[in-house]
């Protein structure tokens, strides 16, 4: 576990996060994957790049 700014009076611990990126064919595929993953109880969000 890491901490925030060392200059802060009470450094806030930073929690490590791990991601998986799925490349979709198009917007329809992205919606299908989001629906599937959310249905499986996963936390996910759409990103366009």
| In the predicted structure, residue 4 carries a pLDDT above the cut 70 | no
Helix (H, G, I), strand (E, B) or coil at 3: strand
Q: Is residue 17 part of a domain?
A: no
pTM of the predicted model as reported, rounded to 2 decimal places:
0.64
Q: What is the pLDDT of residues 7-36, one digit of tens each?
A: 767 878 899 999 999 999 999 999 999 999
d(CA 49, CA 36): 21
Answer yes or no: is 35 within a domain. yes
Residue with tokens 């990103």: 47
Residue 40 belongs to some domain of the structure: yes
pLDDT of residue 2: 60
Whether 42 is in a domain gets the answer yes
As for how many domains the chain has, the answer is 1
- SS3 at position 36: helix
Predicted confidence band of residue 3 (pLDDT cuts 50, 70, 90): low
Is 31 part of any domain?
A: yes
Q: Is residue 4 domain-resident?
A: no
Question: Under 8 Å CB-to-CB from 45, ≥6 apart: which residues?
Answer: 34
pLDDT of residue 19: 93
């Amino acid at each position: 576990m890491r901490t925030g700014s060392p200059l802060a009076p009470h450094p806030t611990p930073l929690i490590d996060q791990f991601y998986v990126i799925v490349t979709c064919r198009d917007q329809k595929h992205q919606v299908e994957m989001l629906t599937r993953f959310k249905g499986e109880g996963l936390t996910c969000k759409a990103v366009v790049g």
